Structure 1
Amino acid sequence: MDSKNYHEDLSHIRSMMERSSRFISLSGLSGVVAGLTAIIGVVYVYFVFQREGINYLDGDRNILGPALVKELVLIGIAILVVAVLSGYIFTAHKSKKKGLKIWDATTKRLLITFAVPLLAGGVFCLALLYHHLFVFIAPATLIFYGLALVAAERYTLTDVKYLGYLEIILGLISLFFLGWGLLFWAIGFGVLHIVYGLIMHKKYK
């Protein structure tokens, strides 16, 4: 009996340490919503190309004007806002359900660690826009996003790093298929997020 209580106490202490050092309320459903939002955005962008008379299947032979690039950037920002808001709503609901705080010292460390690669990537992409190197934006966003996920794994679920590795690999592959960024975005920000979200929802629900 004493041995059983001893093991239960150790398990309880380990659980408390895990909760205090890691943000474990991330919702798998938020990943699914983010992925669906990304795919809807990609489909919308495809029809924007059709409207402008651009055949996306021409790949790197497509020429994008400044006005179109600006519209694509705004669409990307809108997708990001929807994904972030949905992530916050689902995660807050999960935290409340588990009786955990959504905002604490661990959350702050997580956001800072996650934000550094993202901000660096954002500035890098702005430089690409400035120099009209549009075909490199999709690979850059995937790579920097993947790096942010791998870095953030230290303060959240270990599984996050695997999604990060896949995003980095996909971004590196896309460097050899310039002009097909929309397709790689659909896979990276859409399909991978949906698959990851479903796995996490089933594993941690």
Structure 2
Amino acid sequence: MKDKLQQDLAQIRNMMEQSTRFISLSGTSGISAGIIALAGAAVAYYLFNKSGINYFDGERNMYPQELVKELIILALLVLASALAAGIYFTVRKSRRNKLSVWNKASKNLVTALFIPLITGGIFCLILLYHGLFYLIAPATLIFYGLALINAGKYTFGDIANLGYVEILLGLLSSVFTGYGLLSWAVGFGVLHIIYGIVMYRKYENTYE
């Protein structure tokens, strides 16, 4: 009787959690996003070298227009690839666990996540317009961190911890301007891979 009661309580808690928190985030999506980000950072470094710019010299360089275009295209490709991978693995996990992907919890998550991200994207375009290229990488980290903290209310709380570290990295790289690309690679690449591994081990089988 006691075991049955505990089982029923666990099931009720599970149902309540699913209605208020989006629990289908996949650790694999974090790992894939990290790998894509590292590849993107490597290509960006190659593009800087090709243009004769040492990104790590700490100088506030004015970048050639052609390089700016290449970096924008690269950033869009990295973003699209990471989003596609994230959606794929999240949908796959939801279907495996027979959970709805698009519900109230996921809508709240998307809203909480994308308001800071869109704001940050517009702010980065303003920085680009004014030629403040050295602040774009720190800004992306800071606004991404704010987005994760904001979204943490509607999914696993671990995501907020990642957000705090992203903000810290962004603030540091805004001071040490020669390390923006490195901080970006660490924040979006290495930390995503670590986060994805932790999420996979901690939650991947929890709701199966």
TM over 0.5: yes
Residues 30 and 91 in structure 1, CA contact (< 8 A), matched pair in contact too: yes
SS of the residue 1:140 aligns to:
helix
In structure 2, what residue type is equivalent to 1:183? L
Residues 62 and 179 in structure 1, CA contact (< 8 A), matched pair in contact too: no
Aligned twin of 2:129: 130
**Superposition deviation, residue 76 in structure 1:** 0.6
Whole-Å Cα distance in 1 between the matches of residues 76 and 121 of structure 2? 12
SS of the residue 2:53 aligns to:
coil
Cα deviations by residue, 1:146-184 (Å, 9 ceiling, x for unpaired): 000000011111111111111011111111111321111
**Superposition deviation, residue 47 in structure 1:** 1.1
Aligned twin of 2:116: 117
Whole-Å Cα distance in 2 between the matches of residues 26 and 90 of structure 1? 8
Whole-Å Cα distance in 1 between the matches of residues 33 and 6 of structure 2? 40
Whole-Å Cα distance in 2 between the matches of residues 21 and 180 of structure 1? 39
Whole-Å Cα distance in 1 between the matches of residues 109 and 60 of structure 2? 40
Q: Segments of 4+ in structure 1 off by > 4 A? A: none
Aligned twin of 1:21: 20
Q: State, as a whole percentage, how many aligned pairs show the same letter.
A: 52
SS of the residue 2:52 aligns to:
coil
Report the TM-score, using the length of structure 1 for normalisation.
0.95
Residues 62 and 133 in structure 2, CA contact (< 8 A), matched pair in contact too: no
Choose 93-102 or 67-76, whichever is displaced more. Answer: 67-76
Residues 38 and 79 in structure 1, CA contact (< 8 A), matched pair in contact too: yes
Length, aligned pairs only? 204
Structure 2 gaps of 5+ residues are none
**Superposition deviation, residue 61 in structure 1:** 4.8
In structure 2, what residue type is equivalent to 1:27? S
**Superposition deviation, residue 67 in structure 1:** 2.1
In structure 2, what residue type is equivalent to 1:172? L
Whole-Å Cα distance in 1 between the matches of residues 199 and 59 of structure 2? 36
Whole-Å Cα distance in 2 between the matches of residues 4 and 52 of structure 1? 67
In structure 2, what residue type is equivalent to 1:22? R
Query: Does the C-alpha gap of structure 1 residues 139 and 57 become closer, same or farther in structure 2, counting only changes over 3 Å?
Result: closer
Aligned twin of 2:41: 42
Q: CA RMSD in A?
A: 1.2
Aligned twin of 1:80: 79
Whole-Å Cα distance in 2 between the matches of residues 54 and 118 of structure 1? 29
Whole-Å Cα distance in 2 between the matches of residues 58 and 171 of structure 1? 18
Residues 60 and 180 in structure 1, CA contact (< 8 A), matched pair in contact too: no
Aligned twin of 2:182: 183
**Superposition deviation, residue 63 in structure 1:** 3.3
